[in-house]
Amino acid sequence: MKQTGIGRGIQLLGGLFLIVGTVDLIVIALFPAYALKLFWTAVAGPASFLVKLHTPAVHLLIGYGSLWLRPWAWGLALAYAGFGLVSDGMNQLTFGFNYIQSGFMVTTSFFSSYLIWRRAVFIDEPMSGNRPKPAPQELR
């Protein structure tokens, strides 16, 4: 399969991250007592509201950066995927096996692999025909 530099798939995922970030904000507003599980602990109480806001903030940043193919979005998405994989792995060891967390871990692994495969679309300058072409080398 030939890889193109357009990045439409990444931009589509960016749009989905914008939707997910917005839904995260709505869920946090509707269920403020929900205890988020991070790294072996369930964060509850009034302070949990601020802890839970990291999720929509990062999802919205990843979505915006991916939509516009910003180089920083690639690193942020992979770092946050690693954060989620480690946290959910630890949570499963602590709180027991969970099908939803396992599904998240599998899809996050596929998403990370796709991002690594499509790394070339996250560049500062588009690789288009406006760059000077190298002079052809003569054969001797």
**CB 9, CB 16: distance < 8 Å:** no
Domain assignment present for 138: no
- 0.95 surpassed by pTM: no
SS3 sequence, 62-100?
HHHHHHCCCHHHHHHHHHHHHHHHHHHHHHHHHHCCCHH
Mean pLDDT of 64-72: 93
Domain assignment present for 134: no
Tell me how far apart the alpha carbons of residues 28 and 59 are, in angstroms, rounded to a whole number: 14
Tell me how far apart the alpha carbons of residues 140 and 87 are, in angstroms, rounded to a whole number: 59
* Structural domain containing residue 49: 8-121
Domain assignment present for 139: no
- Please tell me the total count of domains within the chain: 1
Model pLDDT for residues 5-25, shown as the tens digit of each residue: 578 999 999 999 999 999 999
Model pLDDT for residues 85-97, shown as the tens digit of each residue: 998 888 888 888 8
